[in-house]
Chain A
Amino acid sequence: NAGVTQTPKFRVLKTGQSMTLLCAQDMNHEYMYWYRQDPGMGLRLIHYSVGEGTTAKGEVPDGYNVSRLKKQNFLLGLESAAPSQTSVYFCASRSGLAGTSTDTQYFGPGTRLTVL
């Protein structure tokens, strides 16, 4: 049971390049999330998914797209990378309903992205 995994761990892009970050979870969780973490800004939600085939916008969705074709995977895409997207990206997943004893959320180890 690996929990939440993310690939790659590190990436350097040039402005205008595209890339996809992969998040995978083996806990059969319904909900998955993508956050970015910048110094002094805490964790900000980019996009999330409440189940296979569904996605929704978070606080800072501009410049990103996501897909949840399989329950265990949640992909984050940058179509045309910009220096402002330099950040550490975290994926998370959870199983239960808010307010129930299964409402826990687990994070992956992160992807450090630099856009030059």
Chain B
Amino acid sequence: GQQLNQSPQSMFIQEGEDVSMNCTSSSIFNTWLWYKQEPGEGPVLLIALYKAGELTSNGRLTAQFGITRKDSFLNISASIPSDVGIYFCAGRSQGAQKLVFGQGTRLTINP
């Protein structure tokens, strides 16, 4: 079945640093979604990508849909304490009913 490899699994950074995480797939996706999950909450959609090469920003967050359609990355610039959480990538291939999820990147920020 389809699998998503998300890396890194965890990150420990200083406040103000930039963050980069990525996901790679064994198959082609038509949609990439990036979510953030905070303790005790459900995943919240951050950015949605629909076209190969697409680069989309949401405030300090930027995500790109890889041109091979098998990868995506998420960058967070100038991290702040409220960025702490688990970030998930998810992808869907053409005609698929189900999302495939990465295992998540746990972000910890030292003030």
Contacts and interface: CB of A to CB of B under 8 A. Distances in A.
Nearest to B99: A105
Contacts of A56: 97
Contacts, number: 60
A107 B44 CA distance: 7
A47 B41 CA distance: 21
A23 to B, nearest CB: 11
Contacts of A103: 30-31, 48, 50, 92
A7 B102 CA distance: 27
A99 B45 CA distance: 17
Contacts of B101: 42-43
Contact of B88 (A43, A106, A109, A110): A43
Interface in B15-46: 30-31, 33, 35, 40-45
A95 to B, nearest CB: 12
Nearest to A58: B98
* Most chain B C-beta atoms within 10 Å of own C-beta, residue among A31, A48, A99, A108: A99
B41 A110 contact: yes
A104 B48 contact: yes
A45 interface: yes
Contacts of A33: 98
A1 interface: no
B66 interface: no
Interface in B74-100: 88, 90, 92-99
Contacts of B35: 107
**Residue of A31, A33, A98, A109 with highest tally of chain B CB at under 10 A:** A98
